[in-house]
Structure 1
Amino acid sequence: MDPKHRSVLQRNRVTLVVDLKPSELYDGLLEKGIFTQDMIDEIKNSGTRRDQARQLLCDLEKRGSQAFPCFIQCLRDAGQLPLAELLLGGEAPVQPLVPTALEDIRPVLQPLPVSSPMNVDRPRKDIAPIYPIQRPSDSPSPSPESEYRIPRPPRRTRKDSIQTYKMDASPCGHCLIINNVKFEPNADLSDRKGSNVDCDKLEKRFKSLNFIVRVKTNLRYKQIRHELCVLSKIDHSQFDCCVVIILSHGTEVNHNRFPGAVHGVDGPAVPVQFITNYLNGQHCPSLQGKPKLFFIQACGGGEKDTGFEVSPDEVEPYMGGADDQTDAMPMSSSSDSISTSDEPDARATLPTPSDILVSYSTFPGFVSWRDPLSGSWYVEILDNILEENADANDLVTMLMMVNNEVSQNSAKGLYKQMPGSFNFLRKLLYFQTQSQGQTPA
């Protein structure tokens, strides 16, 4: 870079760091060849917006003689005109060597005088010859129909505007696991063999992700709601996240937000939309703007999915055990069996469900499969994916991995299962991992 331009950047560094919006410049600097994609990725990972601005300016000084004029042009294209004018300091605008628009090289064309038919073959000395348009040798010739079309500025995508949740508190937050295994005789529900395997896996996994894990076993309907109420009353100000995991029988109920319900060991079921309601921004202010994650290992209904035939290349078949069981309960056509008279704060209208993600082990209306010895398909694969990928991938990406692997299993050689999520997160979420020394991802 020209020493004069480097001096201008250094002289105005404080103002640039404060006011520069780096995310609006990345595409332009990449297209003009000033930065490579790897360099831009490194700048993005440098930290806050100001940190990115500092890194961008530092790298810019090392990118050759065209870095400064291209930077000025990118500022203009992004609408950051005051900064462009500040750097020019009243000087004539500095232009890159390669024109950025066709109008920079377009000649002025004048109409030809009208000649009479008698003189059509006779050359006119007073008419200036028309020369072909001169274009840079390295620029491709446009098609005739677009020769004088004003080019549009490059489209800027919004991928750079996706932020990441703060996840560096230690501990990161609370994790409540409700594990219903033995059901009371009058509940007309079988015991859930293998659920303790799921519970142990998830307890160890979320402790390794730096959560305070609390396990509650064999809770009745009212006890489930009581534990959720207790969790909502905790001051989460010093934490960055909250997790609720429920392992139980499930059913399908009428709903207007989140589908499904989970059974207490006494029989009645708590709708998932009530469960999420305890931790929303209205009922748990200390979790406002923070991710609230719910993992539901329960049936979404009584239907069994036999799948559909695909090419053998599409899947890697896995044959579940012959003794695989479901966590299903026949669908309740109404919510009459669910008491809503206690704790009215949990029945209030849910505000916009921002920062909430509910991950279901199965598609609403369908059964969820569990092996009595190794636990449920969903939890086993979720635990494996978290172990292998949490240090590099965000939560939503990992849940897609879970969806894919579970979808390839088969119960009794016939039945399928498809997990899914209701995702209202606004940012990317990276868990803390031991390999990172429990620092933000």
Structure 2
Amino acid sequence: MMRPDRRSLLERNILEFSSKLQADLILDVLIAKQVLNSDNGDVINSCRTERDKRKEIVKAVQRRGDVAFDAFYDALRDTGHNDLADVLMPLSRPINCAVNPVPMECPMSPSSHRRSRALSPPRYASPTRVHRDSISSVSSFTSTYQDVYSRARSSSRSSRPLQSSDRHNYMSAATSFPSQPSSANSSFTGCASLGYSSSRNRSFSKTSAQSQYIFHEEDMNYVDAPTIHRVFDEKTMYRNFSSPRGLCLIINNEHFEQMPTRNGTKADKDNITNLFRCMGYTVICKDNLTGREMLSTIRSFGRNDMHGDSAILVILSHGEENVIIGVDDVSVNVHEIYDLLNAANAPRLANKPKLVFVQACRGERRDNGFPVLDSVDGVPSLIRRGWDNRDGPLFNFLGCVRPQVQQVWRKKPSQADMLIAYATTAQYVSWRNSARGSWFIQAVCEVFSLHAKDMDVVELLTEVNKKVACGFQTSQGSNILKQMPELTSRLLKKFYFWPEDRSRNSAV
């Protein structure tokens, strides 16, 4: 526990710290000193603004007790924050110990705001005497850290992306404590978001009491993300380096002629818009389209001259199995939509990855559920119309095995290079919260923001499946209802988003 007078001193001066502290430099020093661990760093880096980051650092120090207070004072001196260090000087003492990195109780990050975790309380090492040489190594931390960091970044930029081990290596080299054995847990695992830099970032923000998490874009810089450890291989990976990365079309149907209003879809639209905008896509939003307008808009989108290396289509609407419903209650077959994006109808997207996200019901069955706070993107049976639910022509087995004529040119299926992510499995409803939006889009935004820097899209959507299946549920009477998303991949290579460094127009 921190002494009350020290805690009070930090609280009284929180405004000064929140305006003057160089959050990124101090955070790196505190992690290197093992005062904070990488989990604490993730929470701090997820703050929306620089001011919030600075406040969170001070609060994290308060939670770590008296040893952390003294380490914070030393870190301020080491990094040239002498005016802030003078504020703490009356209650500080020179620190001669390191803090054991152990799990601690800290505010939940946006990705875990729905559930709490039982964590063990912080434990600290007892103060021990350290040789003066080791103290001098700490005082020279700033220059050593910056030199090694610059060398690591310059060398990695020319040959390979920055490795997570790089940061651990130069942190270990820059801060050595002879009296303390190095901890295996001291490696820095990097930011917990898209590859946020340590200088600027963007994350979720919490709006009022609705716990509605919406992305807010700032001038992001992904270049300092140390956890990306892949090298582009054109044989196994799709290229996705254009600036912008490509176009993203979002169709958001909220108000219908007969079917219920899709309350909560605005949160989905805002979240998914800012997610893909922050990942380098030009986002086009279309609201409340009829069935015919949806087809016309998607057809124009497929033929757009401004496409980059990839394209994204997001549909937020009511639906049934194999159909999406327009605001005029006219159904559109999903296969007709997908055909508009194939190589024949959208030649500018040939050989390019096309990602389709469908937030809509695919039937009326419930995987056991609860309509009190959550509503469903389904079609009431009384107003359901006679759309075609057939799967298409009978499977022509002989046509598939008939010997093919040898062609001079190799052919590629026109339906290739497409991935379709459904909010739910066929014949089942999908759930949407009137305040926070749909379960599926919530999970997509959280998982993609955390892992787009180090996972391909299939891995990301597998995590989305897990998050929706295990992290969301609702009740209907005595029944507990769940939801299971579904992924259909026609991709021929791995697809990475390669988050963009906007200040240098390069990927990391």
Larger radius of gyration between Structure 1 and Structure 2: 1
Partner of 1:366: 428
Answering whether residue 268 of structure 2 is matched by residue 205 of structure 1, we say no
1:418 matched residue in structure 2: 484
Q: Which of 249, 259, 282 is the matching residue for 1:176?
A: 249
Q: Secondary structure at the match of 1:279?
A: coil
> C-alpha displacement at 1:411, in angstroms?
1.5
SS state at 2:293 partner: helix
Instruction: Judge conservation of contact 1:280–1:351 (CA < 8 Å) in 2.
Output: no
Letter in 2 for 1:239: G
Q: Which residue does the alignment assign to 1:125?
A: none
Per the TM alignment, residue 434 of structure 1 is displaced from its structure 2 partner at its CA by 4.4
Q: How far, CA to CA, are the matches of 1:231 and 1:351 in structure 2?
A: 21
For the 8 Å contact 2:331–2:387, the answer to whether it is kept is no
Residue 163 of structure 1 aligns with which residue?
Answer: 236
**Runs of 4+, deviation exceeding 2 Å:** 330-337, 434-441
Residues 208-287 of structure 1: pairs in structure 2 closer than 5 A = 208-236=278-306, 239-252=308-321, 260-287=322-349
1:215 Cα offset (Å): 0.5
Cα drift, residue 335 of structure 1? 2.2
2:388 alignment partner, one of 335, 343, 349? 335
Trace 1:309-324 onto structure 2 (pairs within 5 A): 322-324=372-374
Q: Which of 321, 326, 342 is the equivalent residue of 2:376?
A: 326
Contact kept? 2:246, 2:281, Cα under 8 Å: yes
Paired with 1:299 and 1:274, the residues of 2 have a C-alpha distance of 18
The residue correspondences of 1:4-403 to structure 2 (distance < 5 A) are 163-184=236-257, 188-236=258-306, 239-252=308-321, 260-306=322-368, 322-329=372-379, 330=381, 334-335=387-388, 351-403=413-465
- Measured in 2, the distance between the counterparts of 1:223 and 1:304 equals 30
How far apart are residue 271 of structure 1 and its match?
1.4
Percent identity between the aligned chains? 32
Find the counterpart in structure 1 of residue 147 from structure 2: none
What secondary structure is seen at the aligned counterpart in 2 of 1:191?
coil
Q: TM-score, normalised by structure 2?
A: 0.46
Q: 1:265 deviation in Å?
A: 0.4
Q: Within 2, Cα distance between the matches of 1:423 and 1:372? A: 30
- SS for the counterpart of 1:362 is coil
Change (3 A) 1:165 1:440: farther
Partners of 2:501 and 2:453 in 1: how far apart?
7
Cα deviation digits, residues 63-104 of structure 1 (max 9, x gap): xxxxxxxxxxxxxxxxxxxxxxxxxxxxxxxxxxxxxxxxxx
Q: TM-score, normalised by structure 1?
A: 0.53
- CA deviation string 1:301-349 (max 9, x = no partner): 1100129xxxxxxxxxxxx884111001257664299xxxxxxxxxxxx
List per-residue Cα deviations over 1:37-79 (Å, max 9, x = no partner): xxxxxx9x968xxxxxxxxxxxxxxxxxxxxxxxxxxxxxxxx
Cα deviation, 1:96-131, whole Å, max 9, x if unaligned, reads xxxxxxxxxxxxxxxxxxxxxxxxxxxxxxxxxxxx
Label 1:295 to 1:304 Cα distance change in 2 as closer, same or farther (>3 A).
Answer: same
Tell me how far apart the structure 1 counterparts of residues 247 and 463 of structure 2 sit (CA, whole Å).
25
Residue 501 of structure 2 contacts residue 507 of structure 2 at CA under 8 Å; is this kept in 1? Answer: no
Residue 167 (structure 1) shift: 0.3
- SS of 1:293's equivalent in the other structure is strand
Could you report, residue by residue, the CA deviation over 1:208-265 in whole angstroms, capped at 9, with x for unpaired residues? 11111010111111111111111122125x610111100000101xxxxxxx211100
Secondary structure of 2:494's aligned partner = coil
State the alpha-carbon separation in 1 of the partners of residues 357 and 336 from structure 2. Answer: 14
Deviations along 1:404-436, one digit per CA (max 9) or x if unpaired, are 010022122611100011100011111132468
Amino acid across the alignment from 2:289? L
The 3-state SS of whatever aligns with 2:420 is strand
Distance 1:286 1:172 in 2: 14
Distance 1:213 1:168, change over 3 A: same
Distance 1:211 1:363 in 2: 28
What secondary structure does 2:481 align onto? coil
> Which residue of the other structure, out of 476, 491, 498, is the alignment partner of 1:432?
498
CA contact (8 A) 1:251 1:332 kept: no
SS in structure 2 opposite 1:414? Answer: strand
Report the residue type matching 2:278 in the other structure. Answer: S
Aligned to 2:165: none
Which whole-Å CA distance do the structure 2 matches of 1:193 and 1:438 have between them? 38
Partner Cα distance (2:493, 2:458) in 1: 10
Deviations 1:336-373 (A, max 9, x none): 99xxxxxxxxxxxx954210001000001100000001
CA distance in 1, matches of 2:236, 2:387: 41
Residue equivalent to 1:79: none
Residue 438 of structure 1: CA displacement? 5.5
| One-letter amino acid matched to 1:192 | R
Residues 1:351 and 1:428: Cα distance change in structure 2 (over 3 Å): closer
Counterpart amino acid of residue 316 in structure 2 = L
Contact 1:302 1:328 in 2 (8 A): yes
SS state at 2:464 partner: helix
Q: Aligned partners of 2:299 and 2:343: how far apart in 1?
A: 14
Aligned-partner Cα distance in 2 for 1:336–1:300: 11
Q: Counterpart of 2:506 in 1: which secondary structure?
A: coil
In 2: Cα distance, 1:390 partner to 1:287 partner: 22
- Quick one: distance in 1 between partners of 2:267 and 2:285? 13
